[in-house]
Amino acid sequence: MGFSADSHLTKDMPLPFWAWTASNSEHAVKVDVVKIFPEMSSKTKIYFKLEEVLGKKKVSSPIVSTNVKGNWFNLPRINNLIFAAILLIVFFWMVSHAKKKDLFIRRIAGLDAIDEAIGRATEMGKPIFYSPGIGQMVNMSTIASTSILGEVSKKVAKYDSTIKVPHFDPIVMSICKEIVKQSYLEVERPDSYRDDCNFFVSQDQFSYAASVDGMIHREKPAACFFIGYFMAESLLLAEVGATTGAIQIAGTDIESQLPFFFMACDYTLIGEELYAASAYLSRDPMLVSSLKVQDFGKAFVMITATVGLILTTIGAIWHYESLITMVNSFFEVY
């Protein structure tokens, strides 16, 4: 390949400062040897020659050869390795700390109201409806909903109340059956468990909504939980539940459906509150620790972004090009 004398300098290589020495007086060319030699091995010898052209004059260097060697790890990504190691250390420290003492988690009103909702249903002798939505097990909100269902089922079993879980997806139904059954076993109330509390309704979105609406309207439950993956049926379900006077707790990660839950439900889990619910309710050390490590990671990202912004601003004002290059190198491979 050919290039002019003022291009392909080492300072133009997209590599961080700790993996590459940048210079204005040296040239560098990136060669994709794997693409050029698809059957290359460690024994394959590659030959190079440098030729300088000035007008009609040509000057050639001696031919040199080399063997390509693989790296143990990608040096430009070593900052991510350090970050992962720090997170791992923090995680194990959090686990050991959580086993000795409860870690603080911000109060979530919707989850605190679960006891009130189940207690009210027990006093009134009415059932509790729990809808995990129309998502499949590949949806994060559906997975989070099944975890919350397990904690709700434990409280239902303790209070000897009745829970009904209508399903859109048969696979989700099978998983929820085992979760609810396990919850009853954990609180030592297997005799109160009924296999028909989880039941399949329909895989058509609005048929599902209409069927559940009919059940809620006829049975008038004391509490309704709409937690999981919801789309246009969210308002149809929540509106009918509101007309029966039930305490309604909702949660989803679909932003377009949150306004409907805000208007029709008593409590709504917003964003990551849905994913934190399982740790919040169970207080399991492993779950709480993972939640705290996530918070640590977010705090670390915010702090480094703020520091990077300040350093870049200082470099731009005082013309510290090397400082700007160092900060940019760090964030380009962050």
Kindly provide the residue ranges of all beta strands, DSSP E only, lying in the chain, ordered along the sequence: 45-48, 51-54, 57-60, 64-67, 128-133, 163-167, 198-200, 223-229, 247-252, 267-270
Instruction: Look up tokens 């000795």; give the residue.
Output: 100
Cα distance between residue 41 and residue 85, in whole Å: 32
Token pair belonging to 305: 């972004």
In terms of pTM, does the model score above 0.75? no
For the residues of 130-185, what is the DSSP string, one character each?
A: EEEES--TTSHHHHHHHHHHHHHHHHHHHHT--EEEEES-HHHHHHHHHHHHHHHH
Q: What pLDDT, on the 0 to 100 scale, is given for residue 30?
A: 78
Instruction: Look up tokens 């962050």; give the residue.
Output: 334
Q: Per-domain residue ranges for the chain?
A: 10-67, 75-101+287-332, 109-282
- Contact between 90 and 293 under an 8 Å Cβ cutoff? The reply is yes
φ/ψ of 79, rounded to 5, equals -65, -35
pLDDT by position in tens, the chain (length 334): 677 877 878 877 777 777 777 777 888 887 776 777 777 666 777 888 888 888 778 888 888 888 777 777 778 778 778 888 887 888 888 778 777 777 777 778 888 888 889 999 999 999 999 999 999 999 989 999 998 999 999 999 999 899 999 999 999 999 999 999 999 999 999 999 999 999 999 999 999 999 999 999 999 999 999 999 999 999 999 999 999 999 999 999 899 999 999 999 999 998 778 888 878 887 777 778 778 888 888 888 899 889 989 999 998 888 888 888 778 777 765 5
Closest CA to 144 of 248, 261, 280, 267: 280
Residues 6+ apart with CB under 8 A from 100: none
Q: What pLDDT, on the 0 to 100 scale, is given for residue 329?
A: 72
Q: Other C-beta atoms within 10 Å of 122: how many?
A: 19
Q: What pLDDT, on the 0 to 100 scale, is given for residue 197?
A: 93
Q: What pLDDT, on the 0 to 100 scale, is given for residue 243?
A: 93
- Contact between 151 and 282 under an 8 Å Cβ cutoff? The reply is yes
Token pair belonging to 2: 């050919």
Residues 6+ apart with CB under 8 A from 66: 45, 46, 48
Closest CA to 322 of 59, 30, 56, 23: 23
What's the CATH number of domain 109-282, 3.40.50, 1.10.3470, 2.60.120, 3.30.1300?
A: 3.40.50
Residues 6+ apart with CB under 8 A from 47: 63, 64, 65
Cα distance between residue 245 and residue 200, in whole Å: 25
Please report, as a single letter, which amino acid is at residue 249: I
Q: How far apart are the first and last CA of the chain?
A: 32
The residues that bridge with 47 in the sheet, in sequence order, are 65
Which helix or strand (DSSP H or E) is residue 297 part of? Answer: helix 285-318
Strands 128-133 vs 223-229: parallel, antiparallel or unpaired: parallel
DSSP 312: H
Residues 6+ apart with CB under 8 A from 263: 238
